[in-house]
Amino acid sequence: MKKRGSLIVISGFSGAGKGTVAKRLVKDYGYSLSVSATTRAPREGEVDGVDYYFKSEADFKNLIDYNGFIEYARYVDNYYGTPRAFVERELASGHNVILEIEVQGALNIKSQYPDAILIFITAPSVEALKARLIGRGTEEAAVVAKRMRRASEEADEMINYEYIVVNDDLDECVHTVHSIVISKRCELNQNIDFIEVTKKGFEQI
Amino acid sequence: MKKRGSLIVISGFSGAGKGTVAKRLVKDYGYSLSVSATTRAPREGEVDGVDYYFKSEADFKNLIDYNGFIEYARYVDNYYGTPRAFVERELASGHNVILEIEVQGALNIKSQYPDAILIFITAPSVEALKARLIGRGTEEAAVVAKRMRRASEEADEMINYEYIVVNDDLDECVHTVHSIVISKRCELNQNIDFIEVTKKGFEQI
């Protein structure tokens, strides 16, 4: 029987590079990246099935009714959701599945998948984060300030996560996330069956 | 300030290769291996300071009186102990320290060092373990049977450990132990200070 994959939920500060970390986990370690569905219109350059699955509101609501999402939420006027079929299929075939999602979605997933691993990606310091938010491009001060306020809210959410990973060096950060996934499988509570089998094995000798 | 190293306690079935795993962690990842002190006589080929620190009973008892061991025990007629100075010095200078020790010593260390990581190394199955115990050399059936009984007792101790690591492939096993150490540093409870500093940092902007 193939061992079930792990479900990894990544959140983090805007600008902390969580999207890049997720993509590298796919590239370096063969993780499966879950693509969200949304009712918002595609932005320029966005590809259906790569950036999002773009759905009509009717289709989205129909999927809700048929339990098609492991979590979904409405932001402003649009729905966003994590399709259940992909996640279930990939986990069952032994692949580690990575989701990039906000805190409410993360907690929602944890309640359904108690073994899901909740990881928060952060910059090494507030100063570094600010430098990244500013350094990104040509944003105005007001845009940067808004992002910083959002980051401040995100900081309050860190306490909900099981692991805090600093993205100082990208390679190291990606390796650390993968180490967490490996480590998790060795935890005592993941190995109770193995221990019972081992103990029984000795009794039979 | 240098970040304190992690204290890793390894136990496991005789024949599961825990000694080899410990040596490889030293070689591959620069861990510091704690050498035990003992009052038993050196066996042929054993080197003082490498295999054990060989002590007289008077010296050993003196060290006990001066809090020189982080744990010690008496088996049959001999004392065995883990010297405190080495462990403390190495942890303080940021090195990961590895101890190979029995379950009672492991629990004793955990009570003093709550962040110590308790890892149990096992063979992939009872059959594999038996094959290793037999395959080691020219042991008689009675010796093998005795080892198997000991292994059966050890199986009952597995439940006291935080992580169960299967030593099927040595490279993978060593890498997994190192992954656990990396992972542990990212756990939420290891990062409470960092979160507080981050939150305060945003308040000041």
* Helix (H), strand (E), coil (C) string for A84-123: HHHHHHHHHCCCCEEEECCHHHHHHHHHHCCCCEEEEEEC
Residues in chain B: 205
CB atoms within 10 A of CB A71: 22
pLDDT (0 to 100) of residue B138 = 63
pLDDT (0 to 100) of residue A138 = 63
What pTM, to 2 d.p., does this model score? 0.90
pLDDT (0 to 100) of residue A81 = 95
Of A158, A162, A198, the CB nearest to B122: A198
The pLDDT-based confidence of B113 (bands split at 50, 70, 90) is very high
Give Dmax over CA atoms of chain B in angstroms. 73
In this structure, are residues A164 and B198 in contact, taking their beta carbons and an 8 Å threshold? no
B205 has pLDDT over 60: no
B191 lies within 8 A of chain A by CB? yes
Contact across the interface for B163 and A188, Cβ inside 8 Å: yes
In this structure, are residues A24 and A174 in contact, taking their beta carbons and an 8 Å threshold? yes
In this structure, are residues B104 and B73 in contact, taking their beta carbons and an 8 Å threshold? yes
pLDDT (0 to 100) of residue A179 = 98
Strands, E, within B115-168: which ranges? Answer: 117-122, 163-166
B152 lies within 8 A of chain A by CB? yes
pLDDT (0 to 100) of residue A144 = 77
B199 has pLDDT over 60: yes
Q: What contacts A183, CB < 8 A, 6 or more positions away?
A: B163, B176, B179, B180, B182, B183, B184
> What residue ranges of chain A have pLDDT lower than 50?
none
pLDDT (0 to 100) of residue B150 = 83
Among B9-18, B90-99, B133-142, B190-199, which stretch is predicted with the lowest mean pLDDT?
B133-142
B61 has pLDDT over 60: yes
- What digits encode the pLDDT tens for the residues B2-52? 689 999 999 998 778 899 999 999 999 999 999 999 999 999 999 999 989
Question: Which one-letter DSSP state was computed for residue B6?
Answer: P
Dist. CA A46–CA A19, nearest whole Å: 15
Dist. CA A144–CA A135, nearest whole Å: 10
B201 lies within 8 A of chain A by CB? yes
In this structure, are residues A97 and A4 in contact, taking their beta carbons and an 8 Å threshold? no
pLDDT (0 to 100) of residue A13 = 87
In this structure, are residues A106 and A160 in contact, taking their beta carbons and an 8 Å threshold? yes
Strands, E, within chain A: which ranges? Answer: 7-12, 32-33, 37-38, 53-54, 69-75, 78-83, 97-100, 117-122, 163-166
Contact across the interface for A202 and B161, Cβ inside 8 Å: no
pLDDT (0 to 100) of residue A37 = 96
CA distance B64 to chain A (A): 33
Q: Given the structure tokens 């906000």, which residue do they identify?
A: A102
B161 has pLDDT over 90: yes
B106 lies within 8 A of chain A by CB? no
Strands B7-12 and A97-100: unpaired
Write down the ipTM of this complex: 0.88
Dist. CA A36–CA A18, nearest whole Å: 15
Residues of chain B with Cβ-Cβ distance to A122 below 8 Å are: 198
Dist. CA A166–CA A124, nearest whole Å: 6
Mean pLDDT across chain B: 91
pLDDT (0 to 100) of residue B141 = 79
Count how many pairs of residues, chain A against chain B, have C-beta atoms within 8 Å. Answer: 106
Of A156, A175, A195, the CB nearest to B199: A156
